[in-house]
Structure 1
């Protein structure tokens, strides 16, 4: 006898994932650099696609609104990165095999079904029997990902994502090239980056996104007009930008562009600056490594337990925790939708939004949780849909004027414009001014009366390096003291490249400028369709 289905819940739930990393190819390996890309690709992007394809095979549609920034899309399609990823997966398998076959154990390995008695200290994750069990499991995972990568991903992510878009499994959100903090950016470059970013998505996926994830959810009054001009119909902001009232999307100003706000009460249930599911004692610990193999064989164990005292990872224990957190989240969404619908007197819209990399890279069990949640929500009578569905179905309220805002600390601009990064703000301003003036003159000098202006690869590379300079990642990493030295190095490196090429061009040393542009392009050759001729005029 089947259990009766629960009563449908009014309204709509949307899961929004924001996929972003800075340009890392050719710019270091470890501890910050390409390893960051390959770890995220393996731990988050491959599993997410696996989850979505599995659910699509069950005829489930309109599951996730997925933002993929142009800079991530460029890396997931780049031949150098594809080769590097294949090597990384093979190396992962070798490291797992080393752990699985290591010697030094005394006696049989204890069964994971027989946990250590509470009166005794937990077995160390570094004990050879524990590492062997863990290594064997990692070997199986590495084999699966190698097979998936070789059969599905070897020609890049674009065909993989296009299949999900065409099948209406996901709604794709786009964004501006290189993820700049838009409120602080020169309006000409801001418009150029956005339009080129949308065009980049259209070329990769044969689909031009109708919505965007604004980098850092950053907004300044008037940006909605830019969005309308670029054909953007909706974008994401954080909940406080709408004063916490996120039950409906809101047209901004006198435009039809709709701002959707992240529901913090629901989103923070999963992950917040202070708590969330990934910190549960049963889950794999992100920060604890076995230094001989580079694997992560420990579980969180407890909040204040030193790494060397962490217990071995137990998949069965983690499975049980996932099921508990799926049930908790479904209950949270159900109660929130019911309460918000009653409050506004009509069906409400609840949005949970996260970085994609949370699911798998930072929280190893995250992809399993996602798959189970996306099944459990409809089973609990909750309709799941995308932001595009919300617009089409009228989950839109009255117009609103938004304040300057972001989803960073304080929900203002301090992370990207505060005292800690004042030097980077000044650097960005100076580099952008230099780039725009040089590009304007270069294009004017090559223009022929009555003929189209020819492509100018030097001007293209100047803009490419400028956009990499103003990436929002660098001030974020400095403000948060997360690989701050690397971030400053990268910002100044791209600033140097811009100035070096621009100086040669401005001085009339055109052959030198071309050689410099070609040289920098070997490392920073992303966005091959970027065309300086499309830069808006002064």
Structure 2
């Protein structure tokens, strides 16, 4: 239980789910898209969110929230190249803050300097040798439930069942190796679902996963087993989630908060507050931390009242204590919304004080916040709550590319196993790594949303080229060349070193090895 209830208790349970994910960025460009994206999110979100959770755990609070960390993000936060790059980036952030102060913007410089110094000290003390010990500490304190997922965040409904199964199982193996803990719950990438996936989840040992609210026809007041399986789908409550952040509104858009989009180009810092939605960048007012802090308190009060009201009305509607699940990208807290970590810390203290029981998804399942089975249909949390972002006309070429590359990788792997069925093969392992990186859901998302679309297409085709090169050499019997190519591609794409191609089911219906 999280904290002591000092307000009038309300029925049911509130669960906050944070989904942490970035595609594989290490060794693939720096600016404006590439490793800079990783380091910004790390500094602005992962470091302060962990600090919030650790502080609350030190206060004796537990079961604070459910935290999803995708294997591909976990890998980057443990990667020596990324760790060295992050250390350098934090030092550079401090220098940029000092430059801003010397250039005359003393308020901005002082604010950013304090943040940079604190982040650098925290990184050197707790993160310098990777994030895995950080997550283990929070697990040991019973502060969080960790969700895992498939290796490189594929849009699973479009993926060949054999590679879908492989990515999920390898993702859970990766979690066990990093955290000493195999998650029982996962964040399904993009909340993507198609009937039959529940059987794969059950076979892999997954007991619960996230979907978006409309997938449960908006009735998210309890988890629902999917068809005949024991696997429970929990839905995001949009009434509560959209209070914080929605496609059109939410707290971060308030005029007092720091503006995400407007930069001081000399230092790369963000000097302005939102001011107004129609105010141009150069006309925005300077950022004022005290003004923002006062707004945080108002938004915390509003959110707590929203959760209380939702729990009461939903419990009355269904005639039993209800569950309310709010879910967001972790990167909203700090990276997109500068004040997000402040809000998070205050909300997680204020909810129990207001009589709200806070718990994780695992708590909800164990406490019986589960209803009748649901015939879950095709769905996602993307635009339209269908598959258009990852399968629409804008990305038809990527869908076809993915199908070609997956077929080539699976066929080549099957041939290699038939020719040399024993022993681990680094060529087959790298072939699957490149195929997995090709089909990351991020590339289609970025193209559909016209967000660094060129970078996304380049990345997709680069990994596809690696698959074709390696498979071509294998197909031609040039095995020395194949080993050379695999080793070369592994310099940049050596992610998931424990990935073992021998565990891939090469034929539909084949059992796991």
TM-score (norm: length of structure 2): 0.97
Deviations 1:448-475 (A, max 9, x none): xxxxx10000000000000000000000
Aligned partners of 1:6 and 1:38: how far apart in 2?
40
Aligned partners of 1:515 and 1:327: how far apart in 2?
60
Compute the displacement of 1:97 (Å).
Answer: 0.7
Aligned partners of 2:154 and 2:500: how far apart in 1?
18
Aligned partners of 1:257 and 1:34: how far apart in 2?
36
Among 473, 479, 486, the residue aligned to 2:455 = 486
2:279 equivalent in structure 1 = 305
Q: Is the 8 A contact 1:283 1:318 kept in 2?
A: yes
- After the TM superposition, list the runs of 4 or more consecutive aligned residues in structure 1 that deviate by more than 3 angstroms: none
Aligned partners of 1:397 and 1:216: how far apart in 2?
24
Q: Is the 8 A contact 1:281 1:301 kept in 2?
A: yes
1:504 equivalent in structure 2 = 473
Compute the displacement of 1:379 (Å).
Answer: 0.3
1:40 equivalent in structure 2 = 41
1:466 equivalent in structure 2 = 435
Q: Is the 8 A contact 1:216 1:407 kept in 2?
A: yes
Q: Following superposition of structure 1 onto structure 2, how do residues 51-450 of structure 1 map, counting pairs within 5 Å? A: 51-102=52-103, 128=104, 131-447=105-421
Among 506, 510, 515, the residue aligned to 2:484 = 515
- Secondary structure of the 1:290 match is coil
Q: Is the 8 A contact 1:443 1:456 kept in 2?
A: no
1:125 equivalent in structure 2 = none
- Secondary structure of the 1:140 match is helix
Q: Is the 8 A contact 2:6 2:352 kept in 1?
A: no
Aligned partners of 1:225 and 1:179: how far apart in 2?
19
Compute the displacement of 1:537 (Å).
Answer: 3.0
Aligned partners of 1:368 and 1:133: how far apart in 2?
19
Compute the displacement of 1:5 (Å).
Answer: 3.3
TM-score (norm: length of structure 1): 0.93
The size of the alignment, in residue pairs, is 503
Compute the displacement of 1:132 (Å).
Answer: 1.2
Compute the displacement of 1:446 (Å).
Answer: 1.3
- Secondary structure of the 2:381 match is coil
Deviations 1:417-448 (A, max 9, x none): 0000000000000000000010111122112x
Deviations 1:179-227 (A, max 9, x none): 0000000000000000000110011000000000000000000100000
Q: Following superposition of structure 1 onto structure 2, how do residues 24-35 of structure 1 map, counting pairs within 5 Å? A: 24-35=25-36
Aligned partners of 2:222 and 2:19: how far apart in 1?
20
- Secondary structure of the 1:255 match is coil
Deviations 1:98-129 (A, max 9, x none): 11122xxxxxxxxxxxxxxxxxxxxxxxxx3x
Aligned partners of 1:50 and 1:5: how far apart in 2?
25
> Mind listing any 5+ residue stretches in structure 1 that lack a counterpart?
103-127, 448-452
Larger-Rg structure? 1
2:13 equivalent in structure 1 = 12
> Mind listing any 5+ residue stretches in structure 2 that lack a counterpart?
508-513
Q: C-alpha root-mean-square deviation of aligned residues, in Å?
A: 0.7
Aligned partners of 2:136 and 2:46: how far apart in 1?
15
